[in-house]
Amino acid sequence: MVRTLDARTSQGSNGLYSLTPSFTNGVPILFAQVALQVNNPGPFVRTLFAGIVELTANVLPVNGDLVIEVYRGLGASQQLVYRAGTIVVADQFFSPCVFSFTGSEYNVPTAGSSQIIYSVYATFSYNPLYNVSGLRLGPESFNATLYSDD
C-alpha cells in the first residue's frame, strides 16, 4: 500500500508582477525550495514533482535556452535528480515562454534524515553579445510529494 509522507509547494510568483532579480546570462537562479518531512518511511520512498517557469522573449534579438535543474539537498551536498530544457524563441508571437515540467525520483535515500530538501534552479542562456533584462515574468512554482510503500 502507498502512503503519502508529505507534500509541499514553493511559489516564487503567481504571475501578477515581473520578478527581480532577472536572469543573468548563463547564471542559475534558485527559484524554488521545499523541505519534505520524513516520518516512518517504508522500504521504498519516491518523490513526484512538477513546476512552472514563465519568461518573456519579446526583447530578445536571438533565441535562448532555458534549463531547469532539480537537486536533492542544500549547498555542496546537492545531488542532481532531474534536468530539462527548452528553446526560448525570440519572437513576440511566441512570447511569453511558459515551461512546465514533471519528474520523479525513485528509491530516495532517507537513512538518518528527518526531511528531504529539493532545490530548483532555472538558467537562461543567450548570445553574450546582447544585454537583456526584465525577462522573469512568473508564475514560478514547484510542487513536490513524497510517497512510501508500507
- Count of domains in the chain? 1
Which tens digits make up the pLDDT trace of 130-150?
777 657 887 899 999 999 987
- What the block records as the C-alpha cell of 87 is 528553446
Residues with Cβ within 8 Å of residue 88, at least 6 apart in sequence: 55, 57, 60, 63, 64, 65, 66, 97, 124, 126
pLDDT range class, residue 122, cuts 50, 70, 90? very high
Q: What is the pTM of this model?
A: 0.91
Print the domain residue range for 112.
2-149
What value does the mean pLDDT of the chain take? 88
**Residue 88 predicted with pLDDT over 80:** yes
The CATH number assigned to the domain holding 96 equals 2.60.120.660
Which tens digits make up the pLDDT trace of 12-43?
777 777 777 788 889 999 999 999 999 889 88
